[in-house]
A and B are shown apart, each in its own frame.
Chain A
């Protein structure tokens, strides 16, 4: 790490095709040693493709990569690792059911018999340098996403990485962990490392990166250094200026959901005494660090998790406490999980299959023409880029999210959503929220979880903050700002 030799990275005229899609179109990028280079662009702009080329996960169809002026060929992640290039993926690529120590040893590659003592020593030293606190004997699946990311960074550093690529690293981690991550990256850059930071969040680029390139439709369309003119970057990213618009409040008077005395127990967390009443058209944002109890609460509201005895949940005046999930569905409650391909959609099935699955009238045979018509209409209404026969795993993240929302019934009472816009760019986020607010107008209430404070402030009517299983009273969003909210999330004043 400290002793790692500085290196300059050059990508020259990179082309990459996926079928008809020109994912990288003559991309050139030079990153000097000691630089944190931002790479921004909307979803599908080609950022991740470029980084995967550099890290050996895919190979460019044309173009070359130079390290310190010397041409190298990177055919696989193992090659990249040999050139000391390490990539931190959107989802951590670790071994969740193993201990932290074993994860470190897997990447160690030092002979048949691992030197546990030395690896542990090195890990602890490194971790101290960056102010991380991970117990090497913990199981990886007991760590938060942020901690797993820290583990991954440490592992790459232990392998001697000189180039660190981060793909949307702040998705799913808490504000505090984000601060720590940024401090770590700045420290590493000052030691001469090259850091490529992929994001679609401009405020992160502003806070962290010395330089930034903007990508759109596979090309580099602009480059800038500090200080940035944010409006210019947005115009480059989208080809137009985008503003969020004024918050809309559509709260009605009729009560949709009443939660009283909710008590949930999980192996890691205990939530007790939560009371909340939600009205038609109302949007409730659940804020907090990952793993503070928001998901447990949301799942209990949706009937996917059974609360403890004295808790009471009713929807539209109907008591649903301890009722099976089916009854919640019948009462017009819908649940949209964050992990689209693992819990929301069925990979291998097409869009038309999905719409058939949730059709209201289901005779014995599927009327394919009718289903296809319905699917085409939904595709159009929900702005999904795909056809009825597209399999869901072929869609981009933003389109998967639109499809998932399109699958939810139209006459809902309560919509529960984990991270409605995770990993989506501003344009998609605005679209998704436009659609959600439309549902509010039709009488649905929404409860959502997000780690994006701006989204919570912009779209919620009231906010509930979670910290270690404790909850705040529902706070009117108008009276909150990012700073106040940040303090509550950190546990101050709760």
Chain B
């Protein structure tokens, strides 16, 4: 298996990458006439300052974990499933649709919630299968196909919110009519976090880790990703494996969408995917596709997101600062990995 970015030898370089990312973000802040120190303290306080803020971070962690687990599968098959965003959205749409359908029925709420959570992966899988079919049978790059389908998914959400599923009276950007509380995943005490979503996220991650590190299916996916021509000649049905990678990834994205509906927003909102798909692609790259590191790194990213929510109010800075920091982290850490390899192995392009 590939060594992660976090091998003991690279630790120093990784820390250097973090320092550079912080320095870069500070520079951006200075240009924007902000106080970097105050901003970082604020992010820290906003994410780790209280049990509420930390569990809010964990609320963001679950969908990010699911999205990252999904794209690890497609990355293994050599695919850039940027359509994960749309797959999350479709998951949320399917879950909302099913809950709307059953909310007035006599079924026990727990059954309705369970069916709702199962509808999510179905929606995500269908959307992913579309991108996969375009790629496998239509020769459309999954990046373009996925991006296109993301736009369609967003439009579909807006149409539902302002059309068939609009609130009684008038549709609004705040989403569809919230579901009654009995159809919510149970919260822990007064917190906004549910044990159920944490369990779903961790189990999904564990399953993906086992699939990729220890199963024939995962090994074959990797073979397809690294050299599909050789994989085909060795007898692996490459088209089928690519399709399966899309579908499994879509299912995980769909579960993320379902959790967003039953565990967080309790309705369909316009930006239900919250860019967790794109963020998941970044986390996957940052951990060098090593499933073991996804959970902690994803938690870190989720906390950054939550921590910067307060920035506009307290410091008058935009909350997208966390995005700058996350992007800078990915870039600088990948760069430092390249530097490390140059220093230690002295490999040069010409040797390859």
Contacts and interface: CB of A to CB of B under 8 A. Distances in A.
Interface of A: 57-58, 76-77, 304, 325-326, 329, 335, 337, 342-349, 353, 356-359, 362-366, 368, 407
B233 A357 contact: no
B94 to A, nearest CB: 28
Contacts of A356: 216, 219
B214 interface: yes
B50 interface: no
A407 B234 contact: yes
A344 B236 CA distance: 12
B235 A326 contact: yes
A368 B1 CA distance: 13
Contacts of A366: 214-216, 219
Interface centre among B2, B220, B227, B237 (most CB of A within 10 A): B227
A342 B229 contact: yes
A390 B104 CA distance: 61
A16 to B, nearest CB: 12
Nearest to B227: A346
B80 to A, nearest CB: 17
B219 A357 contact: yes
Contacts of B227: 342-343, 345-348
Contact of A337 (B214, B231, B233): B233
Contacts of A76: 350
Nearest to A356: B219
Contacts, number: 69
Given A362-B216, A365-B214, A366-B214, A335 B233 contact: yes
A344 B233 contact: yes
A364 B233 contact: no
A342 to B, nearest CB: 7
B223 A346 contact: yes
Q: Which 5 A-B pairs have the closest CB atoms?
A: A362-B216, A346-B227, A348-B226, A346-B223, A346-B226
A326 B350 CA distance: 38
B contacts with A: majority SS: helix
B216 A358 contact: no
A344 B230 contact: yes
B139 interface: no
B230 A346 contact: yes
B265 interface: no
B235 A358 contact: yes
Interface in B57-104: none
B159 interface: no
Contacts of A57: 350-351
Nearest to A329: B235
Interface residues of B, number: 23
B135 interface: no
A354 to B, nearest CB: 8
A326 B231 CA distance: 12
Given A346-B222, A349-B223, A364-B217, 16 more contacts: A57-B350, A325-B232, A329-B235, A342-B229, A345-B227, A346-B231, A347-B227, A348-B2, A353-B223, A356-B216, A359-B216, A365-B214, A365-B215, A366-B216, A366-B219, A407-B234
Given A353-B219, A357-B219, A366-B214, A347 B233 contact: no
Contacts of A344: 230, 233
B229 A343 contact: yes
B310 to A, nearest CB: 44
A77 B350 contact: yes
B219 A326 contact: no
A434 to B, nearest CB: 24
Contacts of A337: 230, 233
A302 to B, nearest CB: 9
A358 B226 contact: no
Contacts of B219: 349, 353, 356-357, 366
A81 to B, nearest CB: 13
Contact of A347 (B215, B216, B226): B226
A348 B352 CA distance: 13
Interface string B191-226: 000000000000000000010001111011011001
A368 B213 CA distance: 11
Nearest to B222: A349
28 contacts: A57-B350, A58-B351, A76-B350, A77-B350, A326-B237, A329-B235, A337-B230, A345-B227, A345-B230, A346-B222, A346-B226, A346-B230, A346-B231, A348-B222, A349-B226, A353-B222, A353-B223, A357-B216, A357-B220, A357-B223, A357-B231, A358-B234, A362-B216, A364-B215, A364-B216, A364-B217, A365-B215, A366-B215
Contacts of A335: 233
Interface centre among B210, B217, B223 (most CB of A within 10 A): B223
A363 B219 CA distance: 13
B137 to A, nearest CB: 15
Contacts of A358: 234-235
A411 to B, nearest CB: 15
Contacts of B215: 364-366
B288 to A, nearest CB: 13
A275 to B, nearest CB: 26
A344 B229 CA distance: 8
Contacts of A77: 350
Contacts of A348: 2, 222, 226-227
A363 B2 CA distance: 23
Contacts of B230: 337, 342-346
